Amino acid sequence: SYKPIEHIVLDPGSTDGSRNIARYYRHVTLIEEPDEGQGDAVGTGIEMAKGDVIAWLNSDESYYDNDVFKSVATLFDEADDEIIYGDGIFLSGEGETIRDVYVNKHPDTLSWRFQQEDGIFQPALFFRRSVPEKIGLPSKYLEYCMDYEYWIRAMKAGLKFRYVPQKFAKAYFHSDNKTLGQRGKSYQQVCEMLFDQFGYV
């Protein structure tokens, strides 16, 4: 319900028909090439994006409904926030709602709560182009927590976050999901990242 929208799809080698879907839509820019992981792909997409507001989805995520972009654009027009984030839901592999995603609804507490939790649902976050211009791109070396580390860098740089009590995104929660299926590796990397950022875990 909002235009113009720019869709950039980075696919290092899917064999499940994803590329054919992307090719079907003329407005999609499909990049079919190997990458150095999720962070590298997201960074490439951010660098390619021409829009004033940027966001990214992973393959098991979607936006909540067709009005999300319109709502987000209106919110950015109303204020000078550089980062806006909202709520979301977890779905089962069959598409059944499991529960609401936990989100920190008080961005004024991020400076200390980031030291013990993420509290932001990555697909439900949108940021102005000025954010990567100020703090660079997400790390391509963090496979499990590049988004969490990116929010910490934004907070440390003094960028303005705004929470909106509106559902912006959905994520499918299943055993093949990277964060759930590889929980031990995920926790280990989060702990290492937090130690680097704050000096303790």
- Summarised one tens digit per residue, pLDDT across range 63-105 is 999 999 999 999 999 989 999 999 999 999 888 999 999 999 9
Below-70 pLDDT ranges, the chain: 174-181
**How much is the pLDDT for 18?**
86
**How much is the pLDDT for 180?**
60
Helix (H) / strand (E) containing 168: strand 161-172
**How much is the pLDDT for 26?**
85
Check residue 164 and give left, alpha or beta (phi > 0: left; psi -120 to 50: alpha): beta
Helix (H) / strand (E) containing 53: strand 53-54
φ/ψ (deg, to 5) at 160: -90, 120
**How much is the pLDDT for 62?**
95
Per the CB < 8 A criterion, the answer to whether 120 and 85 are in contact is: yes
Token pair for 153: 């860098």
**How much is the pLDDT for 125?**
98
**How much is the pLDDT for 174?**
67
Q: Are strands 161-172 and 83-91 parallel, antiparallel or unpaired?
A: parallel
Per the CB < 8 A criterion, the answer to whether 142 and 193 are in contact is: yes
